């Protein structure tokens, strides 16, 4: 299922949501300038440099990077710094704006645009920005707690966006989402309750996370499913503390195709 549009209008232009989308796109374009391609994403060196690595976060004296091996290279960690690295604490923030492929960033930004503008409208721009950033940190924290010794970098806005989704589902439980649904070789566009669209999404993350699977994004890194679970849970737990303008009425439905 691919969401296309929800039926909750906003009262003000979502400057922060648009700004976040632009920031992610700019970072992606800058990252591929140093190796990689528009479709497949940044080179492994850029992913490792700016992605957040659980092992490095839980072992302050260690840094992780690409280690040459016989016949190739592998991810590894050792004490001291790797060439061309940044402080580990900075990767907590840089990882939120790094993406591993055009599909990775495209899917994330679609979800952020559809659901983020309404959450921003309910919170106001300042609280929404803080909610987004802290949600991303909470998402990374859960993934790091689950796999503290992983040398693979995690990257992408998925964790922060998951917090937005968790907030949206509480603020607008009666919302409906125009959704592109694929059924084997056929597809259709139908209107579904947001609870169904986001509920199925969350169940998928929880199931794959429990099976210890990660989302393959290429470039030597990925966004772990537990990061999605952590971000979503953060959104559920905190959104009502920050939102002041949640809507109760739901506009008319879209026509069903």
User: What are the structural domain ranges in the chain?
Assistant: 2-242
Q: Are 77 and 60 in contact (CB under 8 A)?
A: no
pTM of the model: 0.86
Separation between Cα atoms, residue 104 and residue 158, nearest integer Å? 9
Q: H helices of 177-256, where? A: 194-210, 225-242
Separation between Cα atoms, residue 122 and residue 104, nearest integer Å? 27
Q: In the structure encoding, which two tokens stand for residue 229, read together?
A: 């679970």
pLDDT of residue 124: 95
pLDDT of residue 182: 79
Q: In the structure encoding, which two tokens stand for residue 136, read together?
A: 């991303």
Separation between Cα atoms, residue 82 and residue 76, nearest integer Å? 10
Q: Cα angle at 128 between 124 and 134, to 5 degrees?
A: 160
pLDDT of residue 157: 93
CATH node for 2-242: 1.20.1540.10
CA distances from 4 to 92, 147, 159, 185, 235 (A): 30, 34, 20, 19, 22
pLDDT of residue 54: 92
**Tens of pLDDT, residue by residue, the chain (257 residues):** 788 999 999 999 999 999 999 999 999 999 999 888 999 999 988 998 899 999 999 998 887 877 776 666 677 777 776 777 788 999 999 999 999 899 999 999 999 999 999 999 999 999 999 999 999 999 999 999 988 988 888 899 999 999 999 999 999 989 999 988 877 767 788 888 888 888 888 887 777 666 654 443 333 344 467 899 999 999 999 999 998 865 544 555 544 43
Bridge partners of residue 179, in order along the sequence: 3, 190
Cα dihedral 147, 148, 150, 153 sign: positive
Q: Are 138 and 153 in contact (CB under 8 A)?
A: no
Q: How many CB atoms lie within 10 A of CB 79?
A: 8
């Amino acid at each position: 299922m691919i969401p296309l549009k929800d039926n909750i209008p906003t009262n003000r232009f979502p400057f922060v949501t648009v700004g976040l989308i632009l920031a992610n796109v700019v970072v992606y374009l800058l990252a591929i300038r140093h190796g990689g391609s528009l479709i497949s994403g940044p080179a492994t060196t850029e992913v490792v440099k700016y992605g957040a690595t659980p092992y490095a976060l839980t072992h302050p004296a260690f840094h992780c990077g690409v280690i040459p091996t016989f016949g190739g290279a592998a991810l590894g960690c050792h004490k001291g710094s790797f060439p061309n690295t940044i402080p580990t604490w900075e990767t907590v923030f840089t990882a939120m704006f790094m993406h591993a492929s055009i599909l990775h960033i495209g899917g994330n930004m679609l979800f952020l645009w559809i659901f983020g503008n309404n959450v921003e409208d309910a919170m106001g721009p300042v609280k929404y920005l803080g909610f987004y950033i802290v949600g991303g940190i909470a998402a990374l924290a859960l993934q790091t707690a689950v796999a503290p010794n992983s040398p693979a970098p995690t990257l992408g806005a998925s964790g922060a966006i998951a917090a937005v989704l968790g907030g949206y589902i509480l603020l607008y439980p009666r919302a409906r989402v125009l959704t592109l649904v694929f059924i084997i070789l056929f597809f259709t566009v139908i209107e579904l309750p947001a609870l169904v669209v986001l509920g199925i999404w969350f169940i998928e993350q929880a199931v794959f996370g429990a099976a210890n699977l990660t989302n393959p994004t290429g470039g030597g890194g990925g966004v772990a499913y537990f990061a999605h679970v952590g971000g979503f849970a953060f959104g559920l737990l905190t959104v009502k503390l920050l939102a002041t303008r949640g809507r109760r009425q739901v506009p008319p439905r879209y026509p069903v195709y």
